[in-house]
Amino acid sequence: MKKSTIGKIQFSIGLILLIWSIIGGIVDYQITNNRLNEYEEELNSNLIYLAEEFNNQTNKYSNETKLIIWETEFEIYSDLKTFTITNSINIGLALFLTLIISILLITQGLVNIEK
C-alpha cells in the first residue's frame, strides 16, 4: 500500500473516533444529568411522603426511628449520586483518551497523505 492510502485510512479512522468521542461526551452528560435529576425528584417525593406519614401517625414512630428512616433515605440518595458521578467520570476519561488517539491518527494521516 502507498503511504497516501494508509494516510487516508488513518485520517478516516481518526475522524470517526473524533466524532464518536464528541457524541459520546454529549450523551454521557445528558444521561448523567437526567439520572441525577431523577434521583433528586425521587428523594424529594420520598421525603414529602415520609413527612406526611410521620405527621399522620405521630405516636406510632419514635423520634429515633424517624431519624433512622431519614438518614437511610439520604444515604441511599448519596450512594446513587456517587455511583452515577463516578461512572460518568470513568466514561469521560475513556472518551478523553479516544479524543487524544483520534487527534494523533488525524495528524499522522495528514502527514502520510502529504508524503
Q: What is the pLDDT along the chain (115 residues), one digit of tens a residue?
A: 788 889 999 999 999 999 999 999 999 999 999 998 998 888 888 888 887 877 776 667 677 777 888 888 888 888 888 999 999 999 999 999 999 999 999 999 999 888 7
Which residues 6+ apart lie within 8 Å of 29 measured at CB? 88
Q: What pLDDT is attached to residue 100? A: 95
**Could you identify the residue written with the cell 473524533?**
18
| Angle at alpha carbon of residue 40, lines to 47 and 86, rounded to 5° | 130
pLDDT confidence of residue 69:
81
Per the structure, the complete domain to which residue 21 belongs is given by 3-114
The number of angstroms, rounded, from the C-alpha of 63 to the middle of its chain's C-alpha atoms is 37
**How confident is the model at residue 66, as a pLDDT?**
77
Q: Is-above-0.95 flag for pTM? A: no
Position 14 scores a pLDDT of 94
The pLDDT of residue 63 is 75
Q: What total number of domains does the chain contain?
A: 1
The pLDDT score that the predictor gives to residue 58 is 63
pLDDT at 72: 86
pLDDT at 59: 67
As given in the structure block, the three cell numbers for residue 67 are 431519624
Residue 95: what pLDDT? 92
